[in-house]
Amino acid sequence: MDSLSYSSVKSMYVHPSSRLVKLPFVRVRAPDSLNSRLSEFEPLTLLIAPLLTLFLAQIIGAVFGVVHEKGLKACLVGLTMSFPQVSLFKRSQYLIFLFNPNLDWLETNDSVGEKWNRMIPAIQKYIDSEKQKKKNRAEELPVKGLGVLLEKMETENRNDAIWQSKCSGTVYIGGSESEGHFALIKQACSMFSHTNPLHIDVFQSVVRFESEVVAMTAALLGSKETVSGGQICGNMTSGGTESIVLTVKSSREYMKYKKGITRPEMIIPESGHSAYNTAAEYFNIKLWRVPVDKDFRADVKAMRRHINRNTIMIVGSAPGFPHGIIDPIEHQFVAVTEWSGGLYVSPTIAGSRPGSLAAGAWAAMMSLDEEGYLQNTRKIMEASKRLEKGVRGISELFVLGKPDMTIVAFGSKSLDIFHEVNDVMSSKRWHLNAQATETQQV
């Protein structure tokens, strides 16, 4: 029987902190059978084997870490899409199986590809459209300037989709371009189209417009309340993505300065904007995306489990982009404990910026006034509720959750939401935001 044998047991003395302690001394000798087995291997092999084992253990540990962080499904999807030699059809089969594990895989062949095509029907159409555009695209400067340049641009403008009142989440202004509020904004933007707020000594007008827009926006969000602390600063950005990226950067720098956090993490519900993924990649922040509850709201209890000493942000949306639902934002969950509240926005990513945007925003806010904003908000909210009520009245459709604001997301369990709903609406010049998710919604 192979076992370790004790050849001798002696005693020895050590002297820790001037105290004599008697400890047993054990000398261990391996049996001859073990020695004979080891002698069959080269010394170099005996040296490399444990090192290789340690290396493999580290790789396995890293893999388990990634799976724990991102989830098994996300890892398998990424692995499937990373092999270029695998056909698109095969990838679609794997992905459909991941999202629909209850499918009888032995009976899915062409049907799987068809299901995947229904999930993302616009992709091929978009690719074909872009290929066609490239044929007529100018890729070099013309030898001679176009004499009918404005006429050509007007033609291109007319060929765009009719967006007035029929585009979802695209243009946030209504009315005619040639009159009223819209015409005012166009004129203001044109007047200051050459300006650049970066040069505050040259274009003092748009710098003032920008600061006043920030102040008026802050007032709408409660800057006059005591809790805000009266400390408001801000800049105008190019859009929602840049605003989110700057917010994340501000929190990262603030928490690094205040708490000494060097390995930042942030927690966000699945319904949070994809720009948080962009910010996490830009600023090397570990991102925890937590499933929402059955009503598509952020699950506070589930998010609480991810809070640790490296947490710099916990994100809530009001409302979230996919469903128009306000998350249950609780003040005690704000990671910046010393912050008294209010707006906290760092300088923008861009250096030079178009001053026309600040001028247009300033003109819009000054012309509408507070009462005008309240009236428009009331009309928009009423229209959203009518839309929600209409969708709920169609038996083949269902509304996702209970929308709080001006976004209404709906899906279907019996209809192909892309072809039988979205494509039909597109043919009638309505442009919805079709989302190829597990719920397939618009």
Pairing mode, if any, of strands 21-29 and 265-269? unpaired
- pLDDT bin (cut points 50, 70, 90) of residue 119 is low
Residue 318 φ/ψ, nearest 5 degrees: -145, 80
Helix-helix angle 88-99:72-81, to 10 degrees = 170
Residue showing tokens 């990262």: 252
The string of pLDDT tens digits covering residues 50-103 is 888 888 888 888 887 777 766 666 666 566 555 544 444 444 444 444 444 444
Q: Is pLDDT of 390 > 70? A: yes
- The pLDDT score that the predictor gives to residue 289 is 93
- The pLDDT score that the predictor gives to residue 94 is 45
pTM of the model: 0.63
Q: Is the dihedral of CA 328, 332, 333, 337 positive or negative?
A: positive
The string of pLDDT tens digits covering residues 304-320 is 999 999 999 999 888 87
Residue showing tokens 């839309």: 387
Q: Please state, in angstroms and rounded to a whole number, the distance separating the CA atoms of residues 407 and 381.
A: 9
The string of pLDDT tens digits covering residues 124-143 is 666 777 667 666 777 788 88
Q: Is pLDDT of 6 > 60? A: no
Q: Is pLDDT of 244 > 60? A: yes
* 388 touches 408 (CB < 8 A): yes
Q: Is pLDDT of 300 > 80? A: yes
In residues, how long is the chain? 442
